[in-house]
Copies of this chain bind each other. A is one copy, B any other.
Amino acid sequence: MSLLVTGTIAIDTIKTPHGISEDCLGGAAVYFSMAAGFFSPVRLVGVVGDDFSFNLAELFAGRDVDLTGMETRAQSKTFRWTGRYHQNMDDRTTERTELNVIAEAPPKVPEAFKDSQCVFLANTVPAIQLELLEQVEKPAFVAADTMNLWIQEHLTDLKILLKKIDCLFINEDEARMLADEFNLIVAARKILDMGMNTIVIKKGESGSILCNADGDIFILPAYPANEVIDPTGAGDSFAGGFMGYIAKTGKTDFETLKTAVAYGTVTASFTIADFSLNGLTKITQREIDDRLVKLRKLVTFS
């Protein structure tokens, strides 16, 4: 299936106990595309300002990432984010956000992308996610990411969105907030009742939970990391591996989604092993497949 991603392209400054990476490439759509590109062609929709100096075509060399939907807007500046990770590497503090071009009109989905069958709406204001989704004619599988800010301040729009998507990616604290329920299994069920068929709750170093409206559950630990250098983009890389695998197989049954979670887990494990996109750019599909085999062994008992 063709795979479309809409989301940020960003210039990040990342501070971790391991060091600082200043003005590096980031953004949900970039991490997603890099990750999904291991599995499937990707169509990227995003917008940057005329200060954007990274060469994405070069970055994605060897992957089939279509940048037709990447708009460079004159007189605008690229979205910038500065974050500091705490010792546990799961919690972070946003030190500075410059929305810049993200605060303007969203990019358009190009004509050639409107027939996309798989769609990932990376985290942004739910109204914009809805606007972007409406431009896709007849998607077969739509997933979206969201965050605490929209649950708190744009809940009405978010609830409309949840009725129009097939799968929600959400982290555990946000799931608890959205469901108003501490127990994650119960929270998952309450969120599924809001409309979508599938939910993936991300638990950072403790892995993820996949649930569907039929009551199927799949739980997978994170791939054990000896060192987490920079967790930025882990969630979008997870979604990229997940959606890339679905687009590749063209299937969305629960068995396929389980394997998709495993591929998302493995892909994200490479992202966090280095700053920015470096963890993903230097590996091969084979290394991903090898780690999937190791992950399966890690959770298998007789």
Chain A residues at the B interface, C-beta cutoff of 8 Å: 87-89, 182-186, 203, 205-207, 209, 217-221, 224-228, 255, 258-259, 261-262, 296, 298-302
A205 touches B218 (CB 8 A): no
Closest to A219 in B: B221
**Cα distance, A218 to B298, chains bound together (Å):** 5
A264 → B minimal CB distance (Å)? 11
B302 and A255: CB pair below 8 A?
yes
Flag if A228 contacts B183 (CB, 8 Å): yes
Provide the bound-state CA to CA distance between A231 and B225, in Å: 29
Which chain B residue lies CB-closest to A223?
B219
Q: Which of A89, A183, A203 has the most CB of B within 10 A?
A: A183
Pair B227/A183 contact, Cβ less than 8 Å: yes
A221 to B218 Cα, complex, angstroms? 10
Q: From residue A232, how far is it (CB to closest CB) to chain B in Å?
A: 17
| B301 lies within 8 A of A258 (CB) | yes
Contacts of A221 in B (CB 8 A): 207, 219-221
- The residue of chain B having its C-beta at the shortest distance from the C-beta of A294 within the complex is B217
In angstroms, how far is the closest chain B Cβ from the Cβ of A258? Answer: 4
* Set of chain B residues within 8 Å of A224, measured between Cβ atoms: 185, 209, 217, 219
Q: CA–CA, A227 to B226, complex, Å? A: 33
CA A186 – CA B255 in complex, angstroms?
A: 32
CB neighbours of A258 from chain B (8 A): 300-302
Q: How far is the CA of A299 from the CA of B222 in the complex (A)?
A: 12
List 8 additional A-B contacts (Cβ < 8 Å) besides A186-B227, A218-B301, A262-B301: A183-B227, A185-B224, A209-B224, A258-B300, A258-B302, A259-B302, A299-B299, A300-B300
